[in-house]
Amino acid sequence: MLERALNAFWILLGAGAAWHAWTLGLTGASGPESGLFPLLAAFIVMGAGLVLLSKAPLNPRLPRGAALRRVAGVVIGLAVMAAALPYAGFAVSGAVTMLVLLRTAGSSGWVESVMLSLASVATVIWIFGHLLGMILPRGPWGW
C-alpha cells in the first residue's frame, strides 16, 4: 500500500513539474527556453512512476552496510554539488561530484574515475555551453 502511494506521488510530482515547466516556455526564436529540459525531466519522473505503479509491490527492505554507504554517498554528493555550484561553478563542482559518485556507487579505480569525471564534465560543457548556448555557472576562476 505504501509503495503504491509513493508511486502515485511520483506521478503527481512529475505532472506538477511538467505543468510548471510548460508555463516557463519550451522553445523560442533563439532555441530552447528554460522550460524544455525541466519538462523532459518531469516526463521521465512521470513515466518511472507509471512503470512502477503497473508492477506488483516488492516489499522492499531498507539498505544496510555497503548499500547504505552507497546511497548516502549519492545523496551527500548531490547535496554538496547543489551547495557548491554558485561558488565553485559547474566545472569544479560537477567534476568533484562525479568523482565522489563514481567512487562510492561504482567500483572503478581512481584513474578511471578521474578520467570519466573530467570527460563527462567537458562533454556537458561542450554540449550545453557551446552547442546550445546555455549559460552554466562559472566559478571564481571563470570556468
Same domain, 49 and 71: no
Q: How many CA atoms lie within 13 A of 67 on its CB side?
A: 4
Same domain, 70 and 37: no
Same domain, 4 and 56: yes
Tens digit of each residue's pLDDT (9 = 90 or more) over 33-84: 888 899 999 999 999 999 988 886 666 677 788 888 888 888 888 898 999 9
19 lies in which domain range? 1-60
CB-CB contact of 8 with 53 (8 Å): yes
Same domain, 10 and 31: yes
- Would you state the pLDDT for residue 58? 67
Number of domains forming the structure of the chain: 2
Q: Which of 114, 9, 3 is nearest to 55 (CA)?
A: 3
Same domain, 80 and 44: no
DSSP state of 26: S
The pTM for the full model equals: 0.59
Same domain, 67 and 130: yes
- Would you state the pLDDT for residue 66? 84
Q: Whole-angstrom Cα distance, residue 82 to residue 69?
A: 20
Same domain, 46 and 77: no
Q: Name the grid cell of 41.
A: 525531466
